[in-house]
Amino acid sequence: MRLAAVGDLHVKKTSQGQLQPLLAPVNDHADVLLLCGDLTDYGLREEAVILAKELTAAVRIPIVAVLGNHDYESGQEQDVCRILTEAGVKVLDGEAYELQGVGIAGAKGFAGGFGRATLGAWGEPATKRFVQEAIDEALKLEGALARLRTRQRIALLHYSPIRATVEGEPLEIIPYLGTSRIEEPLNRHPVDLVFHGHAHHGALEGRTSAGTPVYNVAMPLLLQRFPGRPPFRVVEIPSAPPSETAAALMSAMHPSGARKPPIGEHPEAGPETQ
């Protein structure tokens, strides 16, 4: 399967028609499009409507996404999610999703710093709340990863789980671009690839401490490093037959038939996009 990934689209009220020519080539290069957050600029319903129209007009392959910090700015993130979902985008927030035998675990992530400089939950209540947000996001990701039963597994994030892919940004803001707390579940539940955005001036690639490839696919970074080329990163992984994930989803059913949250729907496999 060919995976195309990009983040930080930052669609504004004035972005009508601007995204279509950038994303239209993805149909010839990939089988699925992964969106790594900051899809809108201020998290407004109006911006989400424009984004949905742009995606519907330009992209003919499945789309899976997570939200970013900008998508929360106006307190309308639920509307942003609803509008994108109605346009056919699968939005993940601590959920597991399987597409053509490839498992995708998605979460926004959060800030907090890396390695020995990771912020600890000590001191004022405000500091503890900040750290708890990072822990909660890590738990969301871990829950999604634990539900996957596929051979090929992808993690989809907005914030970075490692310092390497935010190198190049001003030192003062690096702790706000991600946290090692998100890396921990990736090491406990290994994946094949990790995609994230957020770091517009970071590095293109890095690896977790366990050696997993991590790709920074922030659109501003891709446009800067690859001028004149479509602003998305394409990585190919072997396709696999549908896995145990579907069975795991069925086993999570209540006796009444209602599914326990927050496991995502398992789509029917469609024809492969050429």
pLDDT digits 0-9 by tens, 194-216: 999 999 999 999 999 999 999 99
pLDDT at 66: 98
Q: What angle separates helix 45-58 from helix 77-86, to the nearest 10 degrees?
A: 20
How far apart are alpha carbons 166 and 164 in whole angstroms?
6
Residues lower than pLDDT 50 in the chain:
249-250, 252-274
Distance of CA 20 to the CA centre of its chain: 20
